[in-house]
Amino acid sequence: MLDFSQRGKPTDNSYIESFNGKFRAECLNAHWFMSLDDARAKMEDWRRDYNEFRPHSAIGNKVPISLMNGSSAPTPI
């Protein structure tokens, strides 16, 4: 049986809710978007920073891209 999140129940999927909160606070609330292209560019910049440069404590203070590349070394701070 598939388990779906219920509408209005953010605790059903805490990982995505945590991500959504970070995305809103660090990207959406931090910028004015002058056009759709401008919004796409700013969101892409944020996505690249989040996945390629920012260490995540949940994965041993490594950047997510390092897991894709097979590196087990921690990211220098």
Residue 62 domain-assigned? yes
What was the pLDDT predicted at 12? 74
* Residues 22-77 pLDDT 10s: 999 999 999 999 999 999 999 999 999 999 999 988 889 999 999 888 765 555 55
Q: What six digits make up the tokens of 49? A: 């920073």
Number of domains in the chain: 1
Q: Does 17 fall in a domain? A: no
At 60, give phi and psi (nearest 5°). 75, 35
Query: What pLDDT does residue 16 have?
Result: 85
Rounded Cα distance, 53 and 50, in Å: 6
Residue 3 has pLDDT above 70, yes or no: no
54: domain range? 33-77
Q: Which amino acid is at 60?
A: G
Asked if residue 38 belongs to a domain, the reply is: yes
Output the pLDDT for position 10.
Answer: 65
pTM for this predicted structure: 0.70
Domain membership flag for residue 66? yes
Residue 58 lies in a domain: yes
- Residue 39 pLDDT: 97
Separation between Cα atoms, residue 25 and residue 17, nearest integer Å: 12
Q: State how far the Cα of 7 lies from the Cα of 35, in Å rounded to an integer.
A: 31
3-state DSSP call for residue 15?
A: helix
Residue 55 inside a domain? The answer is yes
